[in-house]
Every structure is written in C-alpha cells, then in structure tokens.
Structure 1
Amino acid sequence: RIQRPGARPTWPVNCPPGYYCPLGTWSPTQHPCPRGTFREWPGARSAEDCRPCPAGQFCSDSGSGKPFPDGLCSPGYYCPPGQTSATPTSFRCPRGFYCPEGSPQPRACENGTFQPQEAKGSCEPCPAGFYCEASGT
C-alpha cells in the first residue's frame, strides 16, 4: 500500500537508541534514557533497558537520548558506574592516590612516589633525602 508524502506510518516503529518506549508511546523522543544511563540499540521498552554508564565514563544529560557515554572521567576523579559528570565531586581522588583519565577507582601511589593533594591524575617522585612507601601498605 502506498502512503501519500508526509503521511504518518500506520504501523509501529522501533524506539531509537537513547530512548525507551513503553506501551502507548506516541513520539520517538518522548522518553529519553535517565541521567547516568544510555542505550546503544533500538527497541527499549522501559527505563530498565537503559544501561548505567560504565565505570570510568560519564553520561551527562537527561533528556538528550544518548546512545553512548559522553566520555571518560577527568584526571583527578574516578567514576563508578552511572556517573553524570566527568568531575564528580563525590569521587575526587584522595591524598596518597592518583586517578588518570578514565579511572574507575583510585590507584595507590607506588613506592618512590607520593601525592599530598586530592584530585590529582598522577603521583610525584619522592624528593631527594626522603623515602616514600606505597600508599595503603
């Protein structure tokens, strides 16, 4: 059957990536995946079909219908699953640890290095005349 130009389809269409379409949905962008989640495949039926942003990455905007994460966590921060910012204030790298870009968790400074500040992406070499044992040992 041929439809006239501009006519709406009379059959269901798969919900697009980044969105979910429960029973009765009338627009492909009516229900974006919740903040901190994404959906890379079409056909989601509920918000539970949207996946939490992976560890080390973030999914920022609610309502944008992201089919993939926005990017990696910034140096100095770590991102457990479901983060909404590249710099989550609740997950600043603690003293004695470092968090390079995309860190899912803090890493202890190794022997011979130290980090006296929070939210840093690397450790500093131990100065001459001192020794620095690994953090957490």
Structure 2
Amino acid sequence: MAHFGSYKDTERRIELALGAVASGECRNLNEARIKYHVPKNRLYARAQGTLSKLDRPGTNKRLDEIQESALINYIKRCDELGFSVMPHMIHDAAEVILNAGSHPPFLPQYLGRDWVTRFLAAHPELIKKKQK
C-alpha cells in the first residue's frame, strides 16, 4: 500500500492535479495521478465532485450553517448591547433556532448537555475574558 503523506498535503496535491488536467498540462486524470503522486480513487472522486473531509460539514452537527450563523449573530448582538451571554442562554437560543425549522414540528429536537462547550470550543472568537 502506497503512502501519500498527510491528508492535507495529499488534498493539496489533488487540487494541483485537477488544475493540471483542467489547464491541459496533463492529458487525463491518470497522468495527473502519477505526476502528482495521489491516490487514484480519491482523485477520481474529487473529479466527480465529492468533497474532501476538510470541506464537508461535520456528520453530527446539530445546526446547519445558516442556523449557526444566526446563533453567532445573536451572541454578538447581545455583546454589542452589553449583555453577558451565559451558557444556558446560548443553549436555549440554539434550541429555539433548531426547532424553528423542525420537521415535523411536533417532534422537538434537543441539544446535549455539553453542546455549548463544544460550540464555544469551535468558535473561540465568541469567548470573552472576564475583567478583573
């Protein structure tokens, strides 16, 4: 089994290989695969439009991009108004946003106990340090 390096490095070379085929530098995908030393199946998948793991959203993300953006805007707006947004407020707002587009509406969706902690870890720009 051939080793192609780190995932990010391989994805970068795949982008270069696809660009070489598009520009005519390489005649076909196989020639680009050999020249750029990338896995055949992954190169062909990217050529068909399959997104890499780096470009795909997380499999267990509860909020989609639009919902997440709405929650971030809510947090930033509260901060602009001088309100300290507490974790339970983020949790409640996220559940309201999540259930606003819930189908069917009679089956409410809930967020886990540690959801806010993971959300804030993914968005460190939202964390403010306490003033002394």
TM-score normalized with structure 2 length? 0.24
Higher strand share goes to which structure?
A: 1
TM-score normalised by structure 1 residue count: 0.24
Q: Which structure is richer in relative contact order (CA contacts within 8 A, separation 6 or more)?
A: 1
Considering fraction of residues, name the structure with more helix.
2
